[in-house]
A and B are shown apart, each in its own frame.
Chain A
Amino acid sequence: MASGHEHTVKAFDQDISQLRALISQMGGLAEQAIYDAMKALQRGDLALAKTVRKKDKQIDAIEAELEKLIVRVIALRAPMADDLREVIAALKIAAVIERIGDYAKNIAKRVPMIHAEGEERIEAISILPAMGQLAADMVHDALDAFSARDAQAAADVHASDNALDDFYDSIFRTLVTFMVENPRTISQVAHLLFVAKNLERIGDHATNVAEMVYFAATGHYLADGEAGESSGS
């Protein structure tokens, strides 16, 4: 969707590139937060978990900066057509990435509770990283689609959410089985349930990003199921 031509007003081009840079910077931080939170969970790395929590402030700060920039662009440039769609998409994507960051932070917050002193490492943790990987990949792919203005890639991300939902259902059943078999671990496994739920929510938000990217790129809404199912998952 990016026009090959430059705006007559050069400052407008600068605003747009700054906006894109901020989105990818913010997205990169959120993606890293998911990886690090999951790594901290797996390894019981409390220091890393703490870093994830601290770094979330950076994501929040970029969101605030983006919001200011977008308000200014709308007020001064009155964007139209693909510019308008991109600016609106960026505004919504920024809010969504901020939420993704919050979910990663929430996972990191649970690490000390799951790995409480004296508690032995529970086996159930091992089934979560694969789901974490899938959720992080969705975020990564949705943001790549934004950078490339790639509607098809966005539709593919949208479609892959089903896989993540299936993953969540299966993990939920497995974790419940763990609790039934080993009631001493119930409080730890309950935290893992929340972790899985957070990952599932991250996937939903990545799907929202994909929808916005699709809209920005094409001017059409990604109708539920439509483009998503045709590309398969």
Chain B
Amino acid sequence: MTALSPAPHKMSARGVSVFYGDKQAVKDVSIDVDMDKVTAFIGPSGCGKSTFLRTFNRMNDTIASARVTGEITLDGADIYADDMDVVQLRARVGMVFQKPNPFPKSIFENVAYGPRIHGLAASKSDLEAIVERSLKRAGLWEEVKDRLSDSGTALSGGQQQRLCIARAIAVDPEVILMDEPASALDPIATAKIEELIHELRGRYAIVIVTHNMQQAARVSQRTAFFHLGQLVEYGETDNLFTAPREERTKDYITGRYG
């Protein structure tokens, strides 16, 4: 790679298809994800966007009937290669789900669990520092610093989701995948998550799946529109929402789809 070539993509998908048994859920999708950009995946329910997102850290491995073809690389390395350590991969490519799913443990343990099993902390004070830093980055520290031993499940929905983000951040990932991270939250908690995405941008490559188009428009720099398993359009968010190139994209984002 010469000095003149653009920065290599953090993750790249090339000709990726996903099958559930005989049914093809994702059809030959190629896309690049970059470090300093938030990428949003939008599309109607069942369009394959979440399925596709889950190929980025091999979450589909857990579904017996799922089969992935094509190539996905992280820093140029094929993540479906035989020698890829999936546990390591998921530490590097973290995930946040629609429904906040904290462990039924203390707030502290929720965040400390990952760094501990990955051996990221040499001492107790190291671990405490990681927990504090992660909670701070997730914008939750001020709200929970005096009750770290309370159960994570006792927090409000929005706080639980930020706890899950803190948990994902704690293992020092490079990419964070968010699958509808705010759709179960009220508008204030949603705004906090969106603000957090802004703050995390640049430190991590972020990919977010959302049903809320205004949210995609607000938080992302690039947007991909999926329909019936195909990637219909992928481009700068500003252009996609003001002047989409494809008729299908336009019909969807203007509320004419269906």
Contact = CB atoms under 8 A, between A and B. Distances in A.
Contact of A80 (B213, B239, B258): B213
A81 B214 contact: no
Given A81-B244, A84-B242, A7 B214 contact: no
Nearest to A84: B242
A3 B256 contact: yes
Nearest to B239: A219
Given A80-B213, A81-B253, A82-B250, A8 B258 contact: yes
Contacts of B254: 3, 7, 79-83
Interface of B: 213-214, 217, 239, 241-244, 247, 249-251, 253-258
Nearest to B253: A80
A173 interface: no
Contacts of B239: 219
Contacts of B256: 3, 5-8
Contacts of B242: 80-81, 84-85, 219
12 contacts: A3-B251, A7-B254, A7-B255, A7-B256, A8-B257, A79-B254, A80-B213, A81-B244, A81-B249, A81-B250, A84-B241, A219-B243
A21 B130 CA distance: 61
Q: Most chain-A CB neighbours within 10 Å: which of B214, B239, B253, B256?
A: B256
Given A80-B213, A82-B250, A9 B243 contact: no
Nearest to A12: B255
A84 B243 CA distance: 9
Contacts of B247: 3
A220 B242 CA distance: 10
Interface of B is mostly: helix
Contacts of B217: 80
A75 interface: no
Contacts of B213: 80
A80 B241 contact: yes
A36 to B, nearest CB: 39
A182 to B, nearest CB: 56
A78 interface: yes
Contacts of A78: 214
Contacts of A218: 243
Nearest to B258: A8
Given A85-B243, A219-B242, A5 B253 contact: no
Given A3-B251, A3-B254, A7-B254, 18 more contacts: A3-B247, A3-B256, A5-B251, A7-B256, A8-B255, A8-B257, A80-B253, A80-B255, A81-B242, A81-B243, A81-B250, A81-B253, A84-B241, A84-B242, A85-B242, A85-B243, A218-B243, A220-B243
B251 A9 contact: no
Given A81-B242, A85-B242, A9 B255 contact: yes
B197 to A, nearest CB: 20
Contacts of B243: 81, 85, 218-220
Interface in A1-40: 3, 5-9, 12
A8 B243 CA distance: 20
Interface in A49-100: 77-85
A82 B251 CA distance: 10
A85 B243 CA distance: 8
Nearest to B217: A80
A80 to B, nearest CB: 4
B238 to A, nearest CB: 11
A78 to B, nearest CB: 6
Contacts of A83: 254
A223 B242 CA distance: 18
Contacts of A9: 255
Nearest to A6: B256
Contacts of B255: 7-9, 12, 77, 80
Which residue, A5, A77, A78, A81, has most C-beta atoms of chain B within 10 A? A81
B190 to A, nearest CB: 15
Contacts of B214: 78
Query: Which 7 A/B pairs are nearest by Cβ-Cβ distance?
Result: A219-B243, A5-B256, A80-B253, A83-B254, A81-B250, A7-B255, A81-B254
A81 to B, nearest CB: 5
Contacts of A84: 241-242
Central interface residue in A8, A9, A85, A218, by most chain B CB within 10 Å: A8
B214 to A, nearest CB: 6
